[in-house]
Structure formats: structure tokens, C-alpha cells
Amino acid sequence: MLPTQPIGVFDSGYGGLTVLKDLIHKLPAYDFVYLGDNARAPYGTRSFESVYRYTLECVQWFFKMDCPLVVLACNTASAKALRTIQQNDLPNINPNNRVLGVIRPTTEIIGTFTKTNNVGILATNGTVQSNSYKIEIEKFFPSVNVFQQACPMWVPLIENNEHNNAGADYFVKEGIDKLLSQSRNIDTILLACTHYPLLRQKIEKYVSADIKIISQGEIVANSLADYLKRHPEINERCSKHGKVVFYTTDSTEDFDNHAAIFYGKTVKSNHLAI
């Protein structure tokens, strides 16, 4: 049976499952519906127009599923589509519903982790090109310098389950070296792609122990819990039976085989033709 008014969690594919895991941990009573747009992933290399169009289509589907609130658990979608959806589309489609992203909650807090005021961002091409992290961090922490590095090979390595193999070391080291060569003073690195926590062990190999590596899942979960407290009108509409359902726009068999790597548990997904 489907949850009645679940919180929607969206990603281009599997990465958002790393965030969903933390959302469920923080908010176990709530119902969630997860959608991975695997058929059109990766988003990280696509144009603004494509990412916006795909994300909007998926948000509209979540609203048909009766979700009062949708979390874009994808940095690329948050960077390229969220603002337009919030400002231009939501007032027309459904002004009572909400769409939130992962960039704002992260940038609100990231400045508290750095002592040197130098933060490194590792993300997809799309997120880096959007400059969203630089722009948002500047608003909350004007004295923090932001250095960005796109790691276009990291998502394919993870999606192909090659991230624990020796070949992945080359690309992980390359990304880290390029980031750290931009400043000797970086003491905090943000994994600003929901896939990257899976590379954490390898990343730690190439980063000195005094540099903090930050993943977003827990930050986003805390921020959502806080949002629901501050917005009882949304909170009341979210059903709470502790149910989670999964949808993918591509093969359910592939989704179920891969999902456990990200989610930590096996799942049984449904197919969405979009």
C-alpha cells in the first residue's frame, strides 16, 4: 500500500539514497517516496534547460503522488532547477506545496566547520559551473573563501560499482590534488554530490587527517527536521506511518541491484514511465 502523503525525495539516480538513509534515520515516523530518474542520469553533464525540464517533470509527478513536500536530494538539480521551480512554477502548479534542495542547508552551516576560512567543494561539472555554492556561502559566511573542483569521472565510477577498485584511486587522487592545489589553506572539504560519500574511504587516503570531509546527508536531515518544526502547516500534511517506497524511471531490476550500495539495504522498486 502507498503512503498517503509522503515526503518526496528526488535524485537523478542512486545518489539521493545516501540522503534518504539519513532522512529516515532522523524522521523515522514519516512516509517517504523516492524517485531516481535513472533513465536520464547523469544530470551532472547536462544543460540547465535539460536538468530543469527533467526535474520539473519529476516534481509534478511527486505532486500527483500527493507529496506536500519534495526534497531535491541532488546537488545538480538543486543548483540548476530549484530556484526556477520555486519562483516560477510552484505558484502556478501548487502554491501550497514546497520544494527544497540540498545546497541551502549545507551552505548555512559549512562556515562553522572551517577554522582557516577556506572551504573546498567537490561536485559535478553542472554544480561547479552553476557557482551556486560560491554564491550561497558568500551570503552566509562572507569571509569564507570557496574553491571548487569538478570530478566528472566520480559518478560513473560509482554507478558502475568500480569505486572500491584500484582504478578508482587515479581519479580520486586527481580530483583531490586539483582541489588542494588551489589553496594550501583548505581545512574543510564538502562532498557536494550525493554520490560522493561512497568514495569517502578513498578520498581519506589522499587528504591529510587534519582536513575535515563533510557529507550532506545528516546536514540535510537536521535541516528538514527543523523546517518541519517551523512549518506546522506542512508538517501536518505529511503522513506518518514509517513507510518508504521506491520508483525508478529505468529498469527496476538494475535499480534494486544497485540501490543497496547507496542505501545499505535491499529495496524493491516500482517503475515510472516518464
CB of 39 to ligand DGL, least distance (A): 12
Least gap, CB of 155 to ligand DGL (angstroms): 5
Catalytic status, residue 67: no
As a whole number of angstroms, the distance between CA 248 and CA 11 comes to 10
Residue 92 CB, nearest approach to ligand DGL (Å): 26
Here's the x/- map for ligand DGL, 198-237, by CB under 6 A: it reads as ----------------------------------------
Task: Please name the residue that has the C-alpha cell 590534488.
Answer: 177
Closest to 38 in 3D by CA, of 245, 256, 200: 256
Residue 27 neighbours by CB distance under 10 Å: 18
Q: Is 18 in the site for ligand DGL (CB under 6 A)?
A: no
> Judged by CB under 6 A, how many residues of this single chain contact ligand DGL?
17
* Grid cell at residue 220: 540535510
Candidate ranges 63-71, 85-93, 193-201, 262-270; the one touching ligand DGL (CB under 6 A): 193-201
What is the helix, strand, coil percentage profile of the chain, to 5? 50, 15, 35
- Give burial (CB, 10 Å; 0-12/13-18/19+) of 92: exposed
Q: Please identify, among the stretches 12-20, 85-93, 136-144, 178-186, the one whose residues bind ligand DGL according to the rule CB under 6 A.
A: 12-20
Active site residue 58: no
- Residue 194 engages ligand DGL in binding (rule: CB under 6 A): yes
**6 near 238, Cβ under 8 Å?**
yes
Catalytic residue positions, numbered: 74, 193
Give residues in contact with ligand DGL (CB under 6 A): 11-13, 15, 41-44, 74-76, 124, 127, 155, 193-195
